[in-house]
Amino acid sequence: MQLSDIVARLDETLATDDFADVDASANGLQVGPDEKSVEKVAFAVDAAEATIDAALDADADLLVVHHGLVWGGLDRLTGRDFDRVEPLIRGDLALYVSHLPLDGHQELGNAAGVADHLGLADTEPFGSLGPIHIGQTGTFESPQTADEIRAALDDFDGSAGTTVLDFGPDEISSVGVVTGSGVDWLDEAIDRGVDALVTGEGKQKVYHEAREAGVSVFLAGHYATETFGVRSLRGLADEWGLETEYVSHPTGL
């Protein structure tokens, strides 16, 4: 399959253009020629030397990641930036990136994957960012305890253990999910009346805010909560007849 065809399909599926004004990431094709033949695609959460090397070792033609290399512009190609881009060019490995579009996609995205793993029903968009959403909310068919939710989150790929701020009700019925660094959406969780917020990493202030609001917060790890989207995209590439490989490189964070 041609690279341009893959990029067009991914951009259309993920509605990449809708996020252009709200995402610092340069989503879409970040490194690569206008056209090349692609037979094998590698998928990873992060574009870093370790994952790029693994994709090259796998003889991939394209690496698809959630966290790319360009955030708000690239002024100079030196230092760390050069060390990451140079092997891509030398190895003829293209790089496609989907940050917020892959967080918020209501079927393929990271939040949707977390919600599905937890068994949430009646899911709806959550985590508003201007006109778009980067998360999902839903309800349990049977209320869950904090320990039951923690156990499910600890089962994530790359999990280093979930921190729980257990300030909500003993039985949790509704959950808002914004993966990665999503505690800034606690106020929306409060306004929506959900019992708990699931995200990746926290900030100091969230402890008191959650305690005062009576909402539980689950910090399941930035990496661990953001493995779902790229694995969903791998499934799409499999359906398109491409050879694929998933590169797991947990950060523990």
SS3 content of the chain, % helix, strand, coil (to 5): 40, 25, 35
Q: Which residues are annotated as a binding site for a divalent metal cation?
A: 66-67, 103, 222, 226
Buried-exposed string 29-66: b where 16+ CB fall within 10 A, e elsewhere: bbbbeeeeebeebbbbbbbbeebbebbbebebbbbbbb
Q: Which residues are annotated as a binding site?
A: 66-67, 103, 222, 226
Nearest to 127 by CA among 71, 180, 202, 67: 180
Nearest to 67 by CA among 202, 192, 229, 212: 229
Q: What is the 8-class DSSP label of residue 195?
A: S
Indicate the pairing of strand 40-46 with strand 62-67. Answer: parallel
Buried-exposed string 68-78: b where 16+ CB fall within 10 A, e elsewhere: bbbeeeeeeee
